């Protein structure tokens, strides 16, 4: 069976249209694929750029948060130091006030209740034991009267002689014997108390101290 080739110019208009349509469709397929590839590349590029942008923004946020946290920590440390300094200063002032009040109250108590010297003398006698002659207990003259009245026999049995020393503040005493000495005067006891709190100072004899 023989085939006859019909020249293009002899084709009918319908035949030419179908051929042209086929040629145009064949040519459009690569163009559509190229457009899709371009769109896909653009979309992938956009997504990659978006991820990079998000990562960069996240890193910036982390750096800013770290900087703010460091600044806050520095402020808190400075505030803690200031508070500690203020607390220490207030503590010192309160301690000084408490010691001054204690000294005042002790002086007032000794003035109102002079018999408070008796427990001090008893404690000293117990701590010293029997005296090694010569031995004496020095007291303020007013306190010596009280001790002779209440503890005279105990002192004598232990070998202690009660002596008077006007320079001593009422409420204290000083024991001296051949075996040693014991200073239980108000002044020395007060200084030991101050030393325990890291302070130093002298006992101020209350002006109302009776003679």
Q: What is the pLDDT of residues 102-121, one digit of tens each?
A: 888 888 888 899 999 999 99
pLDDT of residue 194: 86
Report the pLDDT value the prediction gives residue 15, as an integer from 0 to 100: 53
Whole-angstrom distance, CA of residue 170 vs CA of residue 175: 15
Domain range 115-196, CATH architecture: 2-Layer Sandwich (3.30)
Reported pTM = 0.53
Query: What's the mean pLDDT in 125-139?
Result: 85
Give the distance between the most distant pair of CA atoms in the chain: 165
- Phi/psi of residue 89, nearest 5 degrees: -65, -45
Of the candidates 168, 173, 187, which has an alpha carbon nearest to the alpha carbon of residue 125?
173
CA 55 to chain centroid: 40
**Strands of 173-177's sheet, edge to edge?**
161-164, 136-139, 173-177, 180-184
The sign one gets for the Cα dihedral 106, 112, 113, 114 is positive
- The closest of 207, 203, 148, 140 to 168, measured between CA atoms, is 140
Residue reference for tokens 């008077």:
164
pLDDT confidence of residue 63: 78
Three-class HEC string of 80-91: HHHHHHHHHHHH
- Residue 132's Cβ-side half-sphere holds a number of Cα atoms within 13 Å equal to 6
């Amino acid at each position: 069976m023989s085939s006859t080739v019909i020249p293009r110019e002899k084709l009918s208009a319908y035949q030419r249209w179908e051929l042209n349509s086929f040629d145009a469709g064949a040519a459009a397929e690569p163009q559509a694929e190229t457009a899709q590839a371009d769109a896909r590349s653009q979309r992938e590029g956009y997504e990659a750029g978006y991820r990079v942008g998000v990562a960069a923004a996240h890193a910036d946020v982390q750096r800013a948060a770290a900087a703010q946290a460091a600044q806050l920590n520095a402020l808190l440390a400075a505030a803690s130091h200031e508070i500690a300094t203020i607390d220490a200063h207030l503590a010192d002032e309160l301690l000084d006030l408490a010691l001054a009040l204690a000294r005042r109250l002790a002086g007032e108590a000794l003035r109102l209740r002079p018999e408070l010297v008796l427990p001090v003398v008893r404690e000293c006698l117990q701590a010293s034991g029997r005296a090694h002659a010569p031995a004496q207990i020095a007291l303020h003259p007013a306190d010596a009267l009280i001790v002779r009245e209440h503890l005279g026999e105990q002192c004598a049995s232990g070998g202690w002689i009660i002596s008077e020393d006007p320079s001593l503040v009422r409420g204290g005493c000083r024991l001296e014997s051949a075996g040693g000495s014991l200073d239980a005067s108000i002044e020395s006891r007060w200084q030991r108390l101050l030393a325990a709190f890291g302070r130093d100072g002298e006992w101020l004899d209350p002006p109302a101290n009776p003679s």
